[in-house]
Structure 1
Amino acid sequence: MSLARLLLLTGAVLAVHLLLLGAPRLHFDSRAPAMGRVLSTRTIVRPGPSPASLAPPTPRAAAGPERRATPARPRKPAQPSTTAAALGDTSVAAPPPELSVLGPTPTEPLAPESASPEPAEQEAVTRPPREDGVSARLYSFPASARLSYEIEADRFPYTASAALEWQHDSKSYQASMTIRKLVTVRSQTSVGSIGADGLMPTRFADRSRNEVAAHFDRNGGKVTFSANTPEAELLTAAQDQLSLPLQLAAMVAGEPEKFGRGTTITIQVVGPRQASLWLLTVEGPETLALPIGELGTLKLQRNPRQPYDQKVELWLAPSHGYLPARIRLTDPNGAYLDQKLQSIEGLY
């Protein structure tokens, strides 16, 4: 190749290069970077949301004083429902008090309040405390008899009369008292059986204008009254107002040594409308001048416990099987009725 042609080719190549270098750049920035400028890059962090735009955190409630754990209270034992108890008590009932004869006991000083009783030895079955005494179990019943009495009372200025008839066959008994004053008659009757507790009445009646009666339900353990008064619990050896002096006669005759002065007898007495607990005290022997004559007697007395109670005085005649020789009733207002033995005849 000739030199001229080589130079021409070289010039053409240079022209093409110059043309290419002077042409526009193919990108979105039309400004050409200045020759010799130093280019540097940096990372720009996009700012986050303004702190003011953020919801402020919910402040925690100020902690109060530390609470101490309260120990659980012990549960109280379940109490029996009063309703259930009213409908029917399933607990074992305590035995009713028996007819007891208590001897005189000296008065003991009370224990000081600060003193604590010694723990009692626990029994298999807990029972209520009973008074020291001897149950009257020996009876000697007087023979069947008819007793007549003269009656003196401050309620009428004349003398009335009364008759007591008492009959038994060692298994059953019946007794009647008839009081006559002018044209008025009042009567009482008592019937029942004789058993381990002495006389065991089944019915007691009191008749003046109308009759009222008490019925002894021994299977049910109660006394009911025809006067529609509330029924009463029937206690062991309970007596009615008429059988009482006859029961006392059999008790004293059976064990006379147990009825010294000051002895107390506790017994339930049933009237035509109600029952109550009587406490009779042996006052001791007395000699009385009576319509029948002079008699040695043993006096027993019931003192009133309530303002409306009667005072009852009984004189039992040992020479006549301890049958009542005199009975005196005194009301709270001082009114009295005094019946004294006039005659006695056997009924055999």
Structure 2
Amino acid sequence: MVEPWRAVIASRSLPPGLARGGRLAAVVLGVVLLHGAVLNGLRLPWGALARQPPPEPMQVLALPAERLAQTPARPSAFPAQRTPAPKPVPQAPRPQLAQVQGTAQPLAAAPVARPEPVSAAPEDLPLPAPSAGPRPGRAAPRAAAEVPHSLTLRYAAQRGAAQGQAQIDWQTHDERFVLSVKVDVPGTPAIDWLSRGQLSSQGLAPERMVEQHKQRAVRAVNFQRDKGLISFSGSPRSAALGPQAQDRASWLVQLWAWARALPSPPRTGQTLRFAVASPRGDVDEWTFEVHAPEVREVAGHRVSLTPLVRSPQRPYDLRVTVWLTQDAAQWPAGVSWGVEPGGMPLVLWLAEWPDSE
């Protein structure tokens, strides 16, 4: 049995073709109504979307800086990292212009303040630069060493009971020197040293010292001043070359020249230090100390002498003593050197009093 409501619908249903056409019309009508509702919400006329003209090209307008400063920046979608604001640079304060009544006048340049000269006391004033000659009332500066003129010194030599003779021949020419030291004592090895070099305000600057035997070179010391070295012919060793370095022959004249440059005889306690190179390959520092004066009879003259002593620095080292006269010439009246302990010193005393310079 068919339910009543189904029978009613079946009796009122349209033919199949007409029913399908109705449904399609209903769908189209619904789309049209929906389109109209959208356009009505946007308040656009029908077909306005189809009749819109193409967009005009974008124009970039340059806004004045004042307007840009007033325009707030739009917040970005992504927060930018904050950078610390730079510290303000302190600006020098601008000079405040004084207000002057009347017509404005051009500003004049401010005068530059100059320091006033300060009057100094006479003792505070700097000394004038040294002139070519000595100033009145002042002594001319002396050199560190005053080498003697060419001369020959003859000595009586003695070692123990043996006696002999010695001679020092000193020659200078054109700021150069040649020094010969010869000692002959029977029963002891003879000494024959020859030194050559240059002269300067500091004294002697030896270049080569030769130890000879029967006029033939046996050993030599070379002062290589271009390399700053002291080298030896009989040894592979070398040493640094100091400014006052001497050899076994030149040290005596260097000591003598130092004493001659002093304004007065050396005083007790004064010292002089320099390096001495030996032909055997040794370089030792010799320090001479001034001892108390002595009075001796030398070559028929009773004279006051100043001893300068080099003490041994280690066992079997040399003790050296030089006796200088206390006159203007500062002659090396006596020389002594020998090894301590146990060595027999070689002693030289002037045999002839030299002529005054």
Normalising by structure 2, we get a TM-score of 0.55
1:309-324 to 2 correspondences below 5 Å: 309-319=317-327, 321-324=329-332
8 Å CA contact 2:164–2:184 kept in 1: the answer is yes
Q: Which residue of 2 aligns with 1:168?
A: 172
Distance of 1:322 and 1:245 partners within structure 2 = 12
> Matches of residues 201-240 of structure 1 in structure 2 within 5 Å?
201-208=206-213, 211-240=218-247
Is 1:301–2:286 an aligned residue pair? no
Question: How far apart are 1:233 and its partner, in Å?
Answer: 0.8
The answer to whether structure 1 residue 192 and structure 2 residue 197 are counterparts is yes
8 Å contact kept, 1:141–1:250: yes
* Residue from 326, 329, 334 that aligns with 1:326: 334
Could you tell me how far 1:322 is from its partner in structure 2? Answer: 2.0
Q: Percent identity?
A: 25
Residue of structure 2 aligned with 1:153, choices 152, 156, 159: 159
**Per-residue deviation at 1:197?**
2.2
**Residues 1-348 of structure 1: matches in 2 within 5 Å?**
137-154=143-160, 157-169=161-173, 171-182=175-186, 185-208=190-213, 211-257=218-264, 259-273=266-280, 274-319=282-327, 321-332=329-340, 333-345=342-354
Count of residues in correspondence between the two structures? 211
Indicate conservation of the 8 Å contact 2:206/2:246, yes or no.
yes
Q: State the 1:240 CA deviation.
A: 1.2
Residue 138 to residue 219, structure 1, CA distance change in 2 (3 Å): same
Structure 1 residue 181: Cα displacement: 2.9
Q: 1-side partners of 2:303 and 2:332: how far apart?
A: 11
- AA aligned opposite 2:339: D
Write the distance in 2 (CA, Å) between the matches of 1:225 and 1:270.
9
**What are the Cα deviations for residues 325-345 of structure 1, in whole angstroms up to 9, with x where unaligned?**
101112111411111111144
Do 1:142 and 1:323's aligned partners in 2 also have CA atoms closer than 8 Å?
A: no
Q: Deviations over 1:66-111 (max 9, x none)?
A: xxxxxxxxxxxxxxxxxxxxxxxxxxxxxxxxxxxxxxxxxxxxxx
Tell me which amino acid in the other structure corresponds to 2:289. Answer: T
Aligned residues of 2:260 and 2:330 also touching (Cα < 8 A): yes
Contact 2:293 2:305 in 1 (8 A): yes
Checking the alignment, whether the CA contact within 8 Å between 1:285 and 1:298 is kept in structure 2 is yes
Q: CA RMSD in A?
A: 2.4
State the shift of 1:312 in Å.
0.4
Counterpart Cα distance in 1 of 2:349 and 2:328? 14
Distance 2:291 2:260 in 1: 16
Runs of 5+ unmatched residues, structure 1: 1-135
- Counterpart CA distance in 2 for 1:301 and 1:307 is 17
Deviation at 1:215, TM superposition (A): 0.5
Cα distance between partner residues in 2 of 1:148 and 1:258: 23
* 8 A Cα contact 2:265 2:326, kept in partner: no
Cα separation, partners in 2 of 1:343 and 1:170, compared to 1, 3 Å: farther
Contact 2:212 2:219 in 1 (8 A): yes
